[in-house]
């Protein structure tokens, strides 16, 4: 293993790639190799995260937007502010991070350069835990990603003088804003990719809020990894929802199930479907159901009683209960005041979460840690996860205007058609009440628009507010999928080894080329190799803002020299936003069959029939693999699966 100060050897830096391949020629025409990062001892997880983030145009542009100091100039008429060439002095960590990003994104021809993470580690006010270097944990890459983005956010806030005001409101006048006082209101997926305040209907956050129709709740998106999730918890018996829990998120963590066998395979769509699948919570209290039960009990007592005073008290209590039941949400305080312990009713509640606004840079962590009942230990699920080059998030997004405030109905109004269609066809789907069966208030309005209709953003908020208690009108209209929700694959982090020991590598796309990066080893790969890679641990998808990178296309001489079995690509196909032709079929669906052979730390092929557990215990993993790798004549194209 080369040290941080060593230079690259004279061997080809492009590994096993065919020297006549169009991918290699295209990469060389557009600057050549990227920079690698030294492994300074258990730092492969840092290197892979830095390389992945360096591929994000959204993140790089965000840092550039505030990186340089502003100076005031007097042009004779007024004072204007312009950007200087001096970095903002408060951006101690960000300066080091940007320098490393620029270094690894450099154009180094066929002889790359090697850099180190030490400069950014020295600038971290709360550096990585000591066990990052002395020990090992499979979650290190995810933790380091959160640490880096947390520091970027903290320093950005300093430059704009922003302080945290999380839920530190004195009253509702501060917590909720009047919609008419907001000139440029963002809601749902409007102007997707834009940061700043995003607003959600106040009536969905607090169903009992007085005069909520023209009030909104702000959520502040600071960095490009920030998005908004929407969680709904409600009673499946009466449908009451206590409010939608909107939260700012910095990525998703998807749990990989306990593998059924070594050959278990999953898809990213499947994991996302598991993430949005409603969770049924058994035997919980429902305030509305409890008050209804109390009311029924009191009515029975009135019929049985002959005591006028007692009957009068019962009727007064029923009147108070009716007043509470008329509200959109029965509070805990009201329930405790109007019922008795004997009247607590246990019901089922449904808990479900979706994205409300995806972040410009979507980080997806594949949680491979599972409990092994045989050994009572946490082990790694090594099953393959197939993912596409372009990921459509439409099925996983619920904008505020599309949310049902009745837990007996699907989370999204657009999904009602599917549910009712399945019910009518007798597919055994759990019964949902139709929209016409749902209670609605007299002053409710339709919140749906016809497909393609251009509605003002403020009207959308008003409609979502007034529709929060009404799911009876036009809820069968399905809006077309938003093309902006189709995200592009930018980077993939893979983990090789066991839960407690292994190695991280990164695949990233830059300048129209896919690269495989293992610390200081950098070389070109095809998109098909990326999509069929093993050990997927983190995936980075990016919002397509329409930017087209200007790249040097292959000339006719280059194309003439390509191997005859390779399909030729036009310059458009090699654009930064284009997909390799080997990665998908004509209909745009990805090929989830893994065709790449697995190799051990020395590059030896592992038969597909060999169980990973047997492989890890065969003496070719962990320390044995490290020692064997050091003694081997290492080539860049070989798999360094288990080195530190």
Known catalytic residues? 44, 503
Numbers of helices and strands, H then E, in the chain: 19, 25
Cα separation, 441 vs 470, in Å, equals 7
Q: What is the 3-state secondary structure (H, E, C) of 516-568?
A: EEECCEEEEECHHHHHCCCCEEEEEEECCCCCCCCCCCCCHHHHHCCCCCCCC
DSSP characters for 444-457? -------TT----H
Q: If we measure between CA atoms, which residue out of 394, 616, 350, 417 comes closest to residue 497?
A: 616
The 8 Å CB, 24+ separation contacts for 163-171 are none
The contacts of residue 613 (CB under 8 Å, 6+ apart) are 262
The contacts of residue 582 (CB under 8 Å, 6+ apart) are 526, 527, 528, 567
| Helix or strand holding residue 324 (H, E) | helix 308-325
Write down the residue that tokens 């196909």 correspond to. 573
Using the 8-state DSSP alphabet, how is residue 179 labeled? G
Residues 227/399, Cβ–Cβ less than 8 Å: no
Q: If we measure between CA atoms, which residue out of 511, 375, 632 comes closest to residue 24?
A: 511
């Amino acid at each position: 293993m080369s040290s941080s100060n060593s230079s690259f050897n004279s061997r080809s830096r492009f590994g096993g790639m065919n020297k006549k391949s169009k991918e290699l020629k295209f990469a060389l025409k557009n600057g050549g190799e990227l920079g690698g990062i030294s492994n300074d001892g258990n730092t492969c997880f840092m290197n892979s995260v830095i390389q992945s983030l360096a591929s994000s145009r959204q993140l790089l542009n965000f840092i550039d937007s505030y990186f340089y100091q502003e100076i005031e100039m007097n042009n004779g008429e007024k004072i204007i502010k312009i950007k200087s060439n001096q970095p903002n002095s408060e951006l101690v960590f960000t300066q080091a991070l940007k320098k490393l990003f620029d270094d690894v994104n450099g154009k180094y021809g066929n002889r790359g350069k090697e850099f180190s993470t030490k400069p950014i580690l020295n600038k971290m006010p709360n550096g990585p835990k000591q066990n990052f270097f002395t020990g090992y944990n499979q979650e290190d890459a995810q933790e380091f990603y959160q640490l880096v983005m947390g520091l970027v956010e903290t320093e950005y806030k300093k430059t704009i003088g922003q302080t945290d005001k999380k839920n530190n409101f004195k009253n509702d006048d501060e917590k909720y804003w009047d919609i008419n006082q907001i000139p440029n209101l963002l809601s749902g997926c409007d102007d997707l990719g834009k940061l700043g305040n995003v607003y959600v209907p106040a009536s969905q956050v607090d169903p009992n809020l007085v005069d909520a129709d023209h009030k909104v709740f702000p959520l502040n998106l600071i960095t490009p990894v920030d998005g908004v999730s929407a969680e709904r918890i409600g009673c499946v018996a009466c449908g009451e929802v206590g409010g939608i829990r909107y939260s700012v998120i910095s990525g998703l963590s998807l749990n990989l199930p306990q593998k059924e066998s070594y050959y278990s395979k999953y898809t990213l769509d499947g994991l996302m479907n598991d993430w949005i699948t409603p969770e049924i919570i058994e035997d919980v209290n429902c305030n509305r159901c409890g008050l209804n039960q109390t009311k029924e009990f009191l009515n029975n007592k009135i019929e049985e009683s002959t005591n006028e005073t007692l009957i009068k008290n019962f009727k007064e209590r029923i009147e108070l209960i009716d007043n509470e039941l008329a509200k959109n949400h029965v509070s805990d305080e009201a329930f405790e005041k109007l019922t008795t312990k004997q009247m607590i009713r246990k019901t089922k509640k449904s808990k479900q979460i979706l994205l409300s606004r995806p972040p410009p840079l979507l980080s997806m962590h594949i949680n491979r840690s599972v409990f092994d009942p045989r050994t009572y230990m946490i082990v790694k699920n090594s099953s393959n996860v197939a993912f596409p080059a372009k990921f459509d998030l439409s099925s996983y997004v619920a904008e505020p205007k599309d949310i049902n405030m009745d837990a007996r109905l699907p989370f999204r109004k657009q999904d009602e058609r599917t549910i009712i269609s399945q019910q009518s066809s007798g597919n055994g789907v759990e019964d949902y009440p139709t929209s016409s069966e749902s209670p609605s208030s007299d002053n409710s309005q339709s919140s749906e628009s016809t497909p393609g209709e251009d509605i003002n953003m403020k009207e959308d908020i008003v409609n979502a507010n007034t529709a929060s208690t009404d799911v009876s009108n036009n809820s069968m209209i399905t809006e077309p999928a938003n093309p902006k929700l189709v995200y592009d694959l930018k980077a993939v982090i893979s983990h090789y080894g066991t839960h407690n020991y292994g190695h991280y590598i990164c695949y990233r796309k830059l300048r129209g080329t896919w690269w495989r990066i293992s610390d200081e080893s950098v070389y070109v790969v095809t998109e098909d190799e990326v999509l069929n890679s093993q050990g997927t641990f983190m995936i980075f998808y990016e919002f397509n803002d329409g930017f087209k990178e200007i790249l040097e296309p292959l000339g006719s001489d280059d194309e003439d020299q390509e191997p005859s079995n390779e399909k030729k690509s036009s310059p458009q196909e090699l654009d930064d936003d284009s997909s390799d032709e080997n990665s998908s079929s004509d209909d745009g669906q990805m090929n989830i069959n893994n065709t790449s052979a697995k190799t051990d730390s020395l590059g030896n092929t592992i038969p597909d029939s060999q169980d990973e557990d047997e492989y890890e215990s065969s003496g070719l993993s962990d320390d044995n693999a490290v020692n064997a790798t050091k003694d081997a004549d290492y080539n860049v194209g070989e798999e360094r699966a288990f080195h530190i």
